[in-house]
Structure 1
């Protein structure tokens, strides 16, 4: 399942940021609607986003089913008065609640919900001249069922939405512009999926299953020996035709925690330690890009040369941090000899996927 943010601002195509779209959406966060405690010191399950452009559509983050929704004809007042004594219409009650369901590689179901509140009322929406396309005039416009006053909360009745579908426009909450957005899971859904993961396990171990998604994490125990290069490289720092870049060697005095991921074909790594007070202490200023350009796109060629006995096992090792296929064909020693999960090229350190 592909997920995108609830707002899709334009970003520079030549941006060098790792994720320019999310960087832009991060700027939409407001001080008065933060998670988990709002400005009024009460528990707040989501966050308020204000793109500073009321005509920027609020969009579904993923394919899903409509659980419930409300479309209001007018805004309401929280009791604040205008100078002439009339009620100030400064809040919007419109919302859409979506249910999303997907399956993992091992056919485990993952179910979660997304909520979009304080959507602009119909009178306000119709006052956005030339900015709101007419129904049916273009893809990804406000659907008919969100263009009429529902006179209260109504059931989704089997309605479906797709990622990036328009759900409405930003309204107000007590005079503040912003859309309340949150993602949540019901307790049983949470246990059904995350109960089988290493989440919140103090001493994580390598999972026995073949499920994999997201970033890869390793725990490298303390007092391990780091090698600047894998054994067997030639005078040009190449092994079986694959070049390795020399990196610092030595011994780690504390356990290291490593995160690796891929973005636009490149591989990135973050390494940190955990201080006595439980805080992370990063060993780099930010994610470190692997010196091999387009690492992800060249992985199969790399695996074919480094692991000729079974390139597919080698590919899984490079991509996922462990061999998912069962039974593994590569002998354990060969599987470990060229694999380097961290930016300092440790080998044979028993990196473990969290």
Structure 2
């Protein structure tokens, strides 16, 4: 059995032109501007195993709907010039795309937040050595993604694939093709 190393990429580009970050430090430095959800320890001093990617630091990946709640919340509507990327080759094992943001706002630090229950769960496998014992299965979760309403029928941002195409869920990874 030969070693299996998936293609690895950062989950977002460093700018609206799609250029990759030069290092993990550069990515974490930019995400340091987020008001919450910092990796490894969140703003309230508790362990946080993920990162928050919002319009505050990565506006070129933000995608707005045309809904009244979002117009009220956002200072400007975002076009989604770049997509969130899957961090490694893998298989989509679960996903949900909600129609629009939840109508009830959540009060957080003096702001109204509208929640999206859209998510994608991806299963990955890596085997750094030739023996199967070196293999590791791990998962990545992408949550609070833009709802269905954010994707137009005329195509996705930047003239890429249609917003209704499940291929948008995995820029780097491979789609398993299962319902």
Is structure 2 residue 60 aligned with structure 1 residue 60? no
TM-score (normalizing by structure 2): 0.59
CA offset at residue 115 of structure 1? 1.2
CA offset at residue 104 of structure 1? 2.2
Q: Give the unaligned 5+ runs of structure 2.
A: 63-79, 175-179
In the alignment, which residue of structure 2 is the partner of 1:120? 146
Is structure 2 residue 103 aligned with structure 1 residue 103? no
C-alpha separation between the residues in 2 aligned to 1:28 and 1:73?
Answer: 28
Pairs aligned (count): 136
2:31 to 25, 28, 51: 28
In the alignment, which residue of structure 2 is the partner of 1:49? 53
In the alignment, which residue of structure 2 is the partner of 1:9? 14
Higher RCO, 1 or 2 (CA under 8 Å, sep at least 6)?
2
User: Is the contact between residue 66 and residue 97 of structure 1 (CA under 8 Å) also seen in structure 2?
Assistant: yes
Secondary structure at 1:126 match in 2: coil
TM-score (normalizing by structure 1): 0.32
User: Is the contact between residue 11 and residue 24 of structure 1 (CA under 8 Å) also seen in structure 2?
Assistant: no
Compared CA separation, residues 43 and 145, structure 1 to 2 (3 A): same
Alignment deviations for residues 163-197 of structure 1 (CA, whole Å, 9 cap, x no partner): 267xxxxxxxxxxxxxxxxxxxxxxxxxxxxxxxx
CA offset at residue 125 of structure 1? 3.5
Compared CA separation, residues 69 and 79, structure 1 to 2 (3 A): same
Compared CA separation, residues 4 and 24, structure 1 to 2 (3 A): same
Q: Looking at CA atoms only, which structure, 1 or 2, has the larger radius of gyration?
A: 1
User: Is the contact between residue 4 and residue 164 of structure 1 (CA under 8 Å) also seen in structure 2?
Assistant: no
Q: Give the unaligned 5+ runs of structure 1.
A: 13-18, 81-87, 137-141, 148-159, 166-354
